[in-house]
Every structure is written in structure tokens, then in C-alpha cells.
Amino acid sequence: MFLTKARKTLATCCGLHVVHDGISDIMYVLLPALQQSFGLSLAEVGLVRGAHRAGLALFQLPAGMLSERLGERSLLVLGTVIAGFAFLALGYSDSFIGLLFLLFLIGMGSAAQHPLSSSIISTAYPDSGRRAALGAYAFAGDVGKCGIAGGLGLLLFTGLEWREPVVVIGTITVFTAVIVFLSLLTVQAGGPPEKRIEHRKKIEKLGWGIREPIGFSALCGIMIVDNCTRNGFFTFAAFLLIQDKGVEPGTAAMAVPIILVGGMWGKLACGFLSERIGIIRTVVLTELGTAAGIVAIAFVDGMAAFFLLPLLGIVLNGTSPVLQGTVGDLVERERQSRAFGLFFSISASCGIAAPLGFGVLSDLISVSSTMYVIAGLVFLTLPLCLILRPVLMSTTATAE
């Protein structure tokens, strides 16, 4: 059966997402090993994670704006090459400053991937099926997280030193850039935009292209809380198991991959669920489930937490594709790259603040107490949903 152009485009973006999310969330598996190698405090662990997110936060919006002139395809390929070589060099890093710099470069290289791939997919699916397509795209990212991060976790569990696999993964990332370029070129996706004078004047009149400022602000607010919750829990889940549950470090390193097993199915399911029961209902269900799951894991003893991790992953990761798919309902099509760049820049900023802030808090009051704070933070999404609901009801989106 031949794939349509839209499905070929989606498949290419999904493949790229596998690699980029794999090298991004592999950091969670590496954090305990990096802490031992470099003798880091928990606050410094948060800074390590924040360096990667800083690169993402600073370059996602410029990538979205630059793609309006150059097209998404060339920037996606260039970013992937940068991320691949930086990840390869990470395997040879021998200083804390060098570690931070390379993680920043990896974040910078990956900055184009989320906003520009989301824009390409939204263009390929302009009407029905957008949230389902983005749910499949998000699912692919978690396949990468489970496959790459989970694979590394298993290697570390067997006692292998972390540097060799990192070099191999960096090399694979560079080759991925070549494949993506050829695939997108074949389907003529993500190329340079039209340069007609009439088209350029029309685009200039759009400004940022945000049709519903109140709704877009509420959507970003929900995303901020959701991302702070997820980044905070992911960063310190292994340390919760080590320090409060007495789990061995090698076993605890598998915490995030186990969460991601549930998370990848949660992203796929919630993308389709939002098409059936509505955006707001789906978001409320996943956020309340997240709060309950974090409290339960912080409360139970020892290895019992491992049985809850994949269930938490379903709701912890399930919200994001629903939020991403709603961006297109609130902005003009010609400004989607810019809007997604802004959306993901704010998202990445949460990845800087949350690990560092929760790391300092964990040093002060313990990791387990910090988990209860993270769970309480989730409830801030509920009033924001009340603001977003009437805005979506006035658009073509399924608001309920």
C-alpha cells in the first residue's frame, strides 16, 4: 500500500523525533552516572539538565522565525548535524564546564526539531486528524526515549561505562540528518516558502498570527505547569528511588525508561482521545491523574514504586500532544512555525527552571517532600482550562 504525501511526511518527522527525543531524554538515564563521574550536588545535577534546556529555549523561537525565510527542511538538517557532533564529543568530555557547553550545543541543535516538525505536520494535516497525527509524532518521540534511553539504561545496569555508547549514538544522529534531508526533499515538504511580493505582503500583515491571544496565553500557561511537573519528576525520579526507597543506582536508572513505556502509549491514546471527548476533558483527566500518580509513588515503599511508574507515564506524558495540536486552532497557518517556536521556547524554559529549582528544593527539604510540591503544582492547570474552554468553543476545535 502506497503512503500518501502526508503520511510520508509524518513518517519522516516521526523518525527524526525518535532520534532527537532519544538523545534528549537519555540525559535522565545519564544523570546518576554523570553525578558520580563529576562529583555533582543535586543542584548541579539540575544545572546539567538546565544547560541542555537553555539551548532549546534560546533557539526554538529563532528557528521558527528563520524557517519563514529558509524553510523548515534545511534548518532541521543543520540542527540535527550540530546535535549529533556535540553528542559525539560528549563522550570525550572531562570537565564540568565542557559538559555544560556540549549539552548547550545539543539543545541548540535540537531546538529546530519540535517547532519545525510540528509545523510541517500541521501543514500536511491542516484540518481533521491534526491532533491524532501529532499524537503519533509524540508517540514516536517516546519510542526513541524508550529505545535509546532504555537501551542505555540496560547497558549501564550491566556495568558498561557511559562514554562509549554516547559516542555511537552521536554518530547515528549525524547519519540521521542525511536521511531526513533526502526524505523531506522527496515529498517536497519543508522547503523555502513562496517569495512572491503579494504573498510576502500578506505575511507581513499577519504579525505573530495569533488569532486568540487569551486562548493562546492560557494554553501556554497549561503547558508551563505541565512541563515543570514533568521535568521536575523526570529529573529526580531516580534520586527518589535511591535516597528514599533504597533502590540500587543501576536499577533506579531504569525509572525514566519505565515511565516512558507508559508515556508513549499515553501520547498516542490521548491524541485520539481528545478527538473523541474533547481537549479540555482530556487535559483535566491527565493532569488529575498526574497529581495522584506522583503522590502515590512518593508514598509507597521500595520496588512497589516501579509498578506505578508506567501508569503514571500514561497521564504524565499524555497531555503534551493535545496541547501541541491545539496551537494550530489559535494561530494563522502562515505563522505556525513562529507560533510553535514560541510555544516550544516557553516549554524549554521550564526545562531550565524546573530542574534547577526543584534541585535546590530537594537539597533543602528532601526529594520525597519535593515530589509532593510537584504534585500540588499540577492543580494550577484547572483554572487555566476554564479560561481556555470558551475560546476553543468559538473556534473549530473540540473544546469539551
How does residue 189 score in pLDDT terms, banded at 50, 70 and 90? confident
**pLDDT digits over 70-113, tens only?**
888 888 889 899 999 998 888 888 888 888 899 899 888 888 88
Q: Rg (Cα) of the chain, in Å, rounded?
A: 20
For residue 374, what pLDDT is reported? 92
Q: What span, in angstroms and rounded, lies between the C-alpha atoms of 80 and 173?
A: 7
- How far apart (Å, rounded) are the C-alpha atoms in residues 174 and 263? 27
Residue range 202-250, pLDDT digits in tens: 555 556 667 778 888 899 899 999 999 988 888 888 888 887 777 777 7
* Locus of grid cell 484547572: 382
pLDDT digits (tens, 9 = 90+) for 25-43: 787 778 878 788 887 777 7
Question: Which range has the worst mean pLDDT, 82-91, 164-173, 269-278?
Answer: 269-278
Cell of 77: 538538517
Closest of 140, 138, 167, 173 to residue 155, by C-alpha: 167
> Cβ distance 59 to 111 under 8 Å?
yes
The answer to whether position 400 is within a domain reads no
Q: Which residue, among 228, 248, 167, has the nearest Cα to 378 in the 3D structure?
A: 228
Among residues of the chain, what percentage have pLDDT more than 70? 92
Residue linked to cell 500514561: 314
The better pLDDT of the pair 253, 148 is held by 148
Q: State residue 52's pLDDT score.
A: 82
Instruction: Give the count of domains, the chain.
Output: 1
Q: Which three cell numbers stand for residue 347?
A: 516549554
Mean pLDDT throughout 285-296? 92
| The pLDDT of residue 22 | 85
Q: Is residue 327 part of a domain?
A: yes
Residue of higher predicted confidence among 331 and 131 = 331
pTM > 0.85: no
pLDDT at 379: 93
Q: What is the pLDDT of residue 161?
A: 81
Query: What local confidence, expressed as pLDDT, does residue 1 receive?
Result: 46
Beta carbons of 356 and 43 less than 8 angstroms apart: yes
pLDDT the model gives residue 210: 77
Q: Please report whether residue 277 resides in a domain.
A: yes
Strand partners, 331: 210
Lowest mean pLDDT among 44-48, 312-316, 332-336: 332-336
Q: What is the DSSP string of 206-252?
A: HTT-BS-HHHHHHHHHHHHHHHHHHHHHHHHHHHHHHHHS---HHHH
53 lies in a domain? yes
Q: What is the CATH number of the domain that holds 63?
A: 1.20.1250.20
Give the pLDDT confidence score for residue 292 in this predicted structure. 92
- What value does the mean pLDDT take over residues 190-197? 62
- What three-state secondary structure class fits 331? strand
3-state secondary structure of 298: helix
pLDDT level of residue 195 (50, 70, 90 thresholds): low
Q: What is the model's pLDDT at position 196? A: 45
Per-residue pLDDT at 208: 66
Distance, in Å, from the CA atom of 258 to the CA atom of 315, rounded to the nearest integer, reads: 13
Residue 398, in any domain of the structure: no
Query: 301-317: per-residue pLDDT in tens?
Result: 777 777 888 889 899 88
* Cα 257 from Cα 263, distance rounded (Å): 9
**Beta carbons within 8 Å of 43's beta carbon, 6+ residues apart:** 356, 359, 360, 363
Q: Is residue 399 part of a domain?
A: no
Residue 165 pLDDT > 60:
yes
Question: By residue range, what is the domain housing residue 130?
Answer: 5-393
